[in-house]
Amino acid sequence: MIEIKQLQKKYHKLVVLKGIDLDISGRGVIALLGPNGSGKTTLIKCILGMVLPSGGQIFFNGENIKGKNEYRNDIDYLPQIAQFPENLSAIEIIELMKSFKQGETREKALIELFGLERELEKKMMNLSGGNRQKINLVIALMHDSPVIILDEPSTGLDPLSITRLKSFLRNESNRGKLILLTTHIMSLAEGMAEKVIFLLDGRIRFNGMMTELLDMQGGQDLESSIAQLLDNETV
């Protein structure tokens, strides 16, 4: 579904992505992992056309995305930091964002899922960090697109909301969707993802099944396996 060939991104002298080759296809949850500054968010923004690559190509369903926007109608996206007008209410923001895509939406089910009924009339400036993130998730997921890309979706969420989000994403995966997510919470990735892409210093250091990574590094869990992988890279 998403094919990436020799993707490079430079910001002046800083090289963020260094010849990325990836084939992200099929269904299920893929965890895009790596330390801060490894290039995760830049890679996602290149896929979405929000950042122009310095080199390489990206294909979505076999078509080069360069100069195109229509393919993004098939992608639901949650940015790491979402910014909306602070003087508008939550429901006004949701209604505004609905207008950018055609088709049926499911915001009511998501509002109920995250228990937001009493927050809808509040202005964004008056919402807690956790409730802002829940509103962001409603906006990101309400269009029911076949591909979901989530950049740090659990930020600010309480344990119950994280549990509900995990259950929702598992159901989306079972419906045949492709879900790509970044997170620094290894327990979230381990509990959700079947595959792992590990970025370090702008290069892919691992791309494969979660079970393969655990076996390869001899770790008891994902956190210790990632730590071992990082340790091996510094030797």
> Tens digit of pLDDT for each residue in 88-119?
999 999 999 998 888 889 999 999 999 999 99
- Position 100 scores a pLDDT of 86
Report the amino acid identity of residue 54.
Answer: S
- Distance (Å, whole) CA 88 – CA 72: 26
- Distance (Å, whole) CA 27 – CA 147: 9
Look up the pTM and report it: 0.94
Quote the tokens at residue 148: 């979901």
Q: All domains of the chain, ordered by start, with CATH? A: 2-234 (3.40.50.300)
pLDDT band at 234 (very low <50, low <70, confident <90, very high): low
Across all residues in the chain, what is the average pLDDT? Answer: 93
DSSP β-ladder status, 28-33 and 178-182:
parallel
Contacts of 175 (CB under 8 A, 6+ apart): none
pLDDT band at 81 (very low <50, low <70, confident <90, very high): confident
Whose structure tokens read 């590990």?
A: 198
